[in-house]
Amino acid sequence: MTVRVRIAPSPTGKLHIGTARTAVFNWLFAHNQGGKFILRIEDTDTARSRSEYTESIKSGLAWLGLNWDEGPIFQSDRFHLYREKIQTLLDKGVAYRCYCTAEELEAMRSAQLARKEAPRYDNRHRNLTEEQEAAFLAEGRKPVIRFKIHDHREIVWKDLVRGTVTWKGSDLGGDMVIARAGDTEDLGVPLYNLVVVIDDIDMSITQVIRGEDHIANTAKQILLYEALGATVPQFAHTPLILNDKGQKLSKRDGVTSIDEFRKMGFLPEAMANYMCLLGWTPPDNEEIFSLEGAASQFSLDRVNKAGAKFDWGKLDWINSQYLHQMPAEQLVELLVPYWQQAGSEIDLEGHRPWLESLTAIIAPSLTRLTDCIAESRLLFGDSIKLDEKAKELLQQEGVAEIIKSVLAAIEDKPQLTESDAKGIIKEVTKTQKVKKGLVMRSLRAGLMGELTGPDLLQSWLLLNQKGWDKTRLHQACRELEIS
RNA sequence: GGUGCUGUAGGCAAAUUGGUAAAGCCCUCUGUCUUUCACGCAGAUGUUUGCGGGUUCAAGUCCCGUCAGCACUGCCA
């Protein structure tokens, strides 16, 4: 049988890292098995679902490289199918109408809690007579539809991640609501546990791979598969993504949407790579790999059972690895938007070759794309801002002379080559009778205004292309004379 | 309260059906390279698998108990 798996997000928020990670595992499994990966939008909760979130989910998955083979399928288009199935369950006598009000349910729950019992529905309307139903209707009550869960039932499945999982019917909270009262619809509005099952049957889903927070739902859903006379798919419950305190990662933890990670300067390849590692370890122990590479060796039995703590340090490291090995001509394209956003003074469109050289110089110090702003700060513009240490160095004996002789050497040279620059440094070292290190440091101070930064020779050549080396060195001389 | 799951160095983790534990990666530190920072390369620190029992020639792995953490316990998904 062809493997068919799906990711079924609810469009009630932007694409969440947890949803994306589940999508990664499904995608990996599908690609490993030569199966299909399907996108289904679970928007039965019309009050909370928004189309803009559907867009965020689609664009987020696409950005990560998680292409889907079928869909998106929208549950909101399929209410007719759900109603049909509800009727089937009603006809079979495995579902019934419950007329309890929210207040009654609440009273029941608090009474149970007061008695230190597990809160659950006591199945009180399971066997109502026609007269009783008529009486409730006459009161104006709107029924929900409940599916019978027998306490003595034992539900067992072989989880692809966790092994054999056993659940008692009595621990499922009583007969479950599969449709809530609708304003017009006699059969109500179908709810999550029901529609998931109906769709997974209808779409011939063979493996359901989702977060472990769904384990209890799985037990309920298996009962529905049986009631609908369908084959039960295989299940795999993946560990949750945890924050640094060990709790399920939530919106309160700050950055959780894929959109935010993108804006923070993470590459899609790095994100996808890291998400694979959130609960899975490749057999070859390599930690840098593409989705395709991971898919070729993916298996659910290497998925961890313990929660996966989100490790920012590791994500940063992975991102830096991708950044460092990316060709400058490709990287520069990704950097330009950040420079633009930061309001760079120079014309970013008209200076691709220059920007590409700049990119090559700063690339090794980038961890996130956003770092390009800080790392290139000293290379933009015709002037410098001397920090304390640079000022101190420039005031050392002989330094002013070094700067002046360099200036003299470049004054009427339009464009320096690397060997020109090296020659000048050598020459100045000789004529001023100083060590090369002092020349380099002096030059760095005068050219950059600070004593640390990327490779000096390359930086100089970059500035030279714009004529900024002359303006900056002149400025350094002026400031030296004033102080 | 109930049910379920998890517990290996600072972090992520590896360890075929029980067979020498701490592989690998991140972080930290040191060395190296360099004018400097970063990158790269080389090396180092960390320790006995939450705790207590049991089975066994042998237990991270199996069993019992205990503690801790997390998840679920909706007319949300």
Question: In the complex, which nucleotide's C1' lies nearest to the CA atom of residue A440?
Answer: B35
Burial group, residue A80, by CB count within 10 angstroms (0-12, 13-18, 19+): exposed
If one compares A183 and A106, the residue with the highest pLDDT of the two is A106
Answer whether any strand B atom is within 7 A of the Cβ of A453.
yes
pLDDT digits (tens, 9 = 90+) for A392-417: 888 888 888 899 889 888 888 888 88
Burial group, residue A344, by CB count within 10 angstroms (0-12, 13-18, 19+): middle
CA→C1' distance for A150 and B41 (Å): 65
Determine the length of chain A. Answer: 483
Average pLDDT of chain A is: 91
- Least confident range from A212-221, A307-316, A337-346, A454-463: namely A337-346
Is the pLDDT at A118 greater than 90? The verdict is no
Question: In the complex, which nucleotide's C1' lies nearest to the CA atom of residue A189?
Answer: B75
Q: How many CB atoms are located within 10 Å of the residue A470 CB?
A: 17
CA→C1' distance for A193 and B74 (Å): 12
Q: Which of residues 198-237 of A touch strand B (CB under 7 A)?
A: 212-217
Distances (CA, A) of A204 to A17, A19, A75, A230: 26, 21, 15, 10
Q: Quick one: pLDDT band at residue A92, thresholds 50, 70, 90?
A: very high
CA→C1' distance for A173 and B50 (Å): 32
Q: How many CB atoms are located within 10 Å of the residue A475 CB?
A: 18
CA→C1' distance for A219 and B9 (Å): 38
Distances (CA, A) of A185 to A82, A86, A144, A179, A462: 12, 12, 11, 10, 71
Question: In the complex, which nucleotide's C1' lies nearest to the CA atom of residue A309?
Answer: B12
Is A251 a residue of the active site? yes
- What is this structure's pTM? 0.93
* Strand-pair category, A95-98 with A70-74: unpaired
